[in-house]
Structure 1
Amino acid sequence: MNTSLDGIALEIQWSNLIATVTEQARALQRIAFSPIVREAGDLATALFDRRGRMVAQAVTGTPGHINSLAAAGQHFVRAFPPDNLSPGDVLITNDPWLSAGHFFDITVMTPVFRGGACIGFFGSTIHHTDIGGYGVGAGARDVHEEGLWIPLAKLYEKGVANALLFDIIRRNVRTPDHVAGDLAAQVAAGRVGAERLNALCDRTGFDDIEALSDAIIGRSEEATRESIRKLTPGTFHGESIFDVPGGLKVTLKAAVTVDTDAGELVIDFTGSSPEAPIGINVVLNYTAAYANFAVRACLDPDLPNNYGSLFPVKVRAPEGSIVNCRYPAPVNARHVVGMYVPFPVLKALHQVMPDRVLAEGSGAVWTIQIQGKDDEGQPFTSSMFNYSGGTGARREKPGLSATCYPTGVAAVPVEVLEAAMPIVFTRKELRRGSGGAGRMPGGDGQVIGYRMRTRDPWLLNVVASRTDLGPEGLEGGGDGLPGRFLVNGKPVNEARKMAMAATDEVLMETPGGGGYGKA
């Protein structure tokens, strides 16, 4: 193994790794079937070493997927030790507690072989069109109503597809061709990564990536610890309160402890709301993913995001809380709470680094899934599409309008949706004046109206939040306006799937972001 890794060589190899995982992500987006992957970028791809440590991630992806994928790597290598794997093996799971928090997100890991030995893995997590069960929404009463549970398993063994597992998946979902096609895209993207990594090893003379992995992870960890050591030591508190489907109020409390001696930061969610009876509960992986995102965005966003930079940030939450739910709690709409996790963390960090945080924003994207039959009697199920509100203002900049923060996904264009299913959008515009006032105003939400082009009744899942409590301003800034969800002009606040008449019209007004500072 070549271990000569001076600073210049390391920078070159690091750039090569980023290019490799980014090409893996682009390949996945190009060949994926579902618009949520192709258009919205609801995915994550990453390289892992043979110890299951995330070494590098692509430049695209969502924090919830990327950092949950990082945690999943450890579970895969424990269940499938690299020395027991063979060329052509491909691994899979959608276990919420081992990966990204709900069944729709399927993780695929492709081992990379060189000289007959496994030298690492390329992993991907994407949101699939359907996973059977309840569908996207919060109405299930336990996790088993929410869809197909795929344990840690081999999707391919020595290059041969697991026919029984593929058949089980196809027979349990509403869109079998789309789901099978997206799984094939994940497998193909993993093979692209493996080819590129072997080509890199050919150029550099590496037999494996262990020395490279150790150098990257070690430097990332030390740089993160040094950034933490520059902060004011102590424990700082933040709290965020918001409403979710069905009118429930959720409280998230975060105590952020800065230990400058160890160069560690501990985030404790003790005092947060208990598990909910509907599917908005969050597994600890997903909570840690978004808590880490808040810290990394403020601390040093230029540092690589990998096992080393994630390790000094510890996330704790009581078992049975809404941010560390226990089996068999329903979790399908876990993003409704998970995407609010950064806000109490940011409020705590405001006491340490006030120039780097932003006011509360709209939080979770409003997710929509539509099911029905077209006029020819053919069933359709929409791939989930997202609509965002405004972000909170920053100390020196206004908030961004209609921006998916903190998730980072994009909204699927209405033209794509209208081509893929019998839907007509009647309005799509900014909700002017919905952002909170302030020295720096919050970003505006948006207004989206739609109806279906079908004579038959249809089913609608809309997971709307902040329809009662708008995002709080910071340092005297005004609150953003709460959102509104209307059916035929009447306000609706439902966690369950709704039966809709063919002529029903939907109007959604997403929240504005909080302002920063007194006007």
Structure 2
Amino acid sequence: MSKLDGIALEIQWSNLIATVTEQARALQRIAFSPIVREAGDLATALFDRQGRMVAQAVTGTPGHINSLAAAGQHFVREFPPDTLHPGDVLITNDPWLSAGHFFDITVMTPAFRAKGGKDCCIGFFGSTIHHTDIGGYGVGAGARDVHEEGLWIPLAKLYEKGVPNALLHSIIRRNVRTPEHVSGDLAAQVAAGRVGAARLNALCDRTGMEDIQLLAEAILDRSEQATRDSIRKLKPGTYHGESIFDVPGGARITLKAAVTVDAEAGDLIIDFTGSSPEAPIGINVVLNYTAAYANFAVRACLDPDLPNNFGSLLPVKVVAPEGCIVNCRYPAPVNARHVVGMYVPMPVLKALHQVMPDRVLAEGSGAVWTIQIQGRAEDGTPFTSSMFNYSGGMGARQDKPGLDATCYPTGVAAVPVEVLEAAMPIVFTRKELRPGSGGAGRQRGGDGQFIGFRMRTKEAWLLNVVASRTELGPEGLEGGEGGKPGRFLVNGQPVNKSQKMAMAADDDVMMETPGGGGYGPPT
């Protein structure tokens, strides 16, 4: 293919989206973890030879997708395409190179095609998923530095010429509590990457393409230009937003965002100068993850129909002082980085409200409430599981109420209680909406929810709960009232800790997630 007209480009673009979406569906079907299968806490994408994200699947979370986009070029620098062979599979969970904490493992599968009598790498299929366990402290915020938080996998080959890296596989299995689940989810990522590579070769066969470079260049150029054109329509200037919220242990975090619109260049700069410094607990955020959610806020307001790829991300520049809570330095603890990271869109939206008031929403509950349980079932079988799908209410929009029990911005779905009860010794005692927790307004904020549970075990067990907004509820917008803060209770008593807790066999846990802020004065 030597030339692409608009019709051919649209057809090929649709084919690429279908390819990466099939990769994502295969990953969900094969994965061991309910978090991947049911909640969809994953990202899959196609990259060109330069490590630039060309297309993403229609499913996935913003934190994973845009962090995966940043990881692509790190892989290519470490493993240039011409040094790779069919059957190679690459891996890392380096927080500063990928998705911000050890639980999110990124796997990159090169796609090869015969050219000139040899196999040439024409691109990569990447995936990032949240794994059930990565050893160390667990998913909570209690670690004091990153080395206490779990197994650190550098940029490495998980497979070489189709042969598993036996030493690396052994290291991973020996450092996690549930090796079968972790190995199974890694195998699912590898298999899904191979599905993507096979479908891409089939696409090349149908269209006569030798590789995807011409197609990738056309897509990325048009995506960048369309994004810059959308930015040029905005009123130039610098606009400020601020969000304050409480985190486990009661500390209050301030995020400040200055959004500068450079209409002439078509650039948009988001500067988090003035935000809180690094925290002593594991709620710190690497810049990749900060940029991921800041970009999502801009994209949602600017033009949601634009492709999300390297080209459309290029005009939006995210900066933050090194050492602040949204650009933490090694060896800051980061395992519960979502607690702060999922609040990143809030000050950005407040700044954008001054430019496009009809496209933003009021503050929502913020981060999903993450819990991890560890222990032994009644038959002595060990269990560990993350169940981070407990959302509060979404903030109200200008012309629509906020959604109940729906966390903006992550988009992670709720895992059905029946699935969780089948996977581990847990019994849910309550799961229902929390009426009246959303803020009143011309449009009402979404309600949070009640989630109660206890464990079916004869001995003590461990609990990590990462709850936020238990003191400060979300603010309303344009005169709307704030949402109610949440509550975390053990045996009816409020608890506000960042550390892992030892629980008795018959302890009762209750979570009441926050409501979203209202929009406009109540009528």
Aligned mate of 1:388, from 388, 391, 394: 391
1:411 CA drift (Å): 1.5
Contact 1:35 1:383 in 2 (8 A): no
In 1, Cα distance between equivalents of 2:96 and 2:120: 29
Match of 1:280 in 2: 283
Which string of whole-angstrom CA distances, capped at 9 and with x for unpartnered residues, describes residues 480-513 of structure 1?
Answer: 0000000000000000000001111011000000
Q: Which amino acid aligns with 1:355?
A: D
Match of 1:19 in 2: 18
Partner of 1:193, secondary structure, is helix
In 2, Cα distance between equivalents of 1:237 and 1:513: 21
Which string of whole-angstrom CA distances, capped at 9 and with x for unpartnered residues, describes residues 235-293 of structure 1?
Answer: 00000000000101000000000000000000000000000000000000000000000
Which string of whole-angstrom CA distances, capped at 9 and with x for unpartnered residues, describes residues 213-255 of structure 1?
Answer: 0000000000000000000000000000000001010000000
**Which stretches in structure 2 are left out of the alignment for 5+ residues?**
none
In 1, Cα distance between equivalents of 2:458 and 2:78: 50
1:3 CA drift (Å): 2.2
Which string of whole-angstrom CA distances, capped at 9 and with x for unpartnered residues, describes residues 381-421 of structure 1?
Answer: 01333200000000000000000210011111110111111
Which string of whole-angstrom CA distances, capped at 9 and with x for unpartnered residues, describes residues 37-79 of structure 1?
Answer: 0000000000000000000000000000000000000100000
Match of 1:335 in 2: 338
The answer to whether structure 1 residue 499 and structure 2 residue 502 are counterparts is yes
The answer to whether structure 1 residue 130 and structure 2 residue 133 are counterparts is yes
Question: Between the two proteins, what is the percent identity of the paired residues?
Answer: 86
The answer to whether structure 1 residue 367 and structure 2 residue 370 are counterparts is yes
Q: Which amino acid aligns with 2:36?
A: V
1:518 CA drift (Å): 0.4
Aligned mate of 2:180, from 177, 180, 201: 177
Contact 2:146 2:331 in 1 (8 A): yes
Q: Which amino acid aligns with 2:125?
A: F
Match of 2:193 in 1: 190
In 2, Cα distance between equivalents of 1:482 and 1:357: 21
Matches within 5 A, 1:11-90: 11-90=10-89
In 1, Cα distance between equivalents of 2:347 and 2:2: 43
In 2, Cα distance between equivalents of 1:366 and 1:309: 31
User: Please, what TM-score do these two structures have when normalized by structure 1?
Assistant: 0.99
Match of 1:108 in 2: 107
In 1, Cα distance between equivalents of 2:375 and 2:481: 42
Contact 2:394 2:406 in 1 (8 A): yes
Contact 2:142 2:500 in 1 (8 A): yes
Contact 2:364 2:407 in 1 (8 A): no
Q: Which amino acid aligns with 1:340?
A: Y
The answer to whether structure 1 residue 220 and structure 2 residue 223 are counterparts is yes
The answer to whether structure 1 residue 319 and structure 2 residue 329 are counterparts is no
Match of 2:170 in 1: 167
Which string of whole-angstrom CA distances, capped at 9 and with x for unpartnered residues, describes residues 168-215 of structure 1?
Answer: 000000000000000000000000000000000000110010000000
Partner of 2:195, secondary structure, is helix
Q: Which amino acid aligns with 2:423?
A: A
When structure 1 is superposed on structure 2, of 377-386 and 258-267 the one drifting more is 377-386
Matches within 5 A, 1:439-518: 439-518=442-521
Contact 1:21 1:56 in 2 (8 A): yes
Aligned mate of 2:242, from 226, 233, 239: 239
Match of 1:98 in 2: 97
Partner of 1:36, secondary structure, is helix
Q: Which amino acid aligns with 1:392?
A: G
**Which stretches in structure 1 are left out of the alignment for 5+ residues?**
none
In 2, Cα distance between equivalents of 1:495 and 1:443: 26
In 1, Cα distance between equivalents of 2:185 and 2:492: 37
In 1, Cα distance between equivalents of 2:420 and 2:501: 20
In 1, Cα distance between equivalents of 2:95 and 2:147: 11
In 2, Cα distance between equivalents of 1:383 and 1:279: 16
1:377 CA drift (Å): 1.2
The answer to whether structure 1 residue 117 and structure 2 residue 124 are counterparts is no
When structure 1 is superposed on structure 2, of 378-387 and 409-418 the one drifting more is 378-387
Q: Which amino acid aligns with 1:14?
A: W
Moved over 4 A (4+): none
In 1, Cα distance between equivalents of 2:50 and 2:457: 52
Q: Which amino acid aligns with 2:38?
A: E
Contact 1:29 1:38 in 2 (8 A): yes
Match of 1:5 in 2: 4
Matches within 5 A, 1:153-164: 153-164=156-167
Contact 1:129 1:384 in 2 (8 A): no
Aligned mate of 1:151, from 148, 151, 154: 154
Matched residue count: 518
In 1, Cα distance between equivalents of 2:295 and 2:429: 38
In 2, Cα distance between equivalents of 1:68 and 1:422: 34
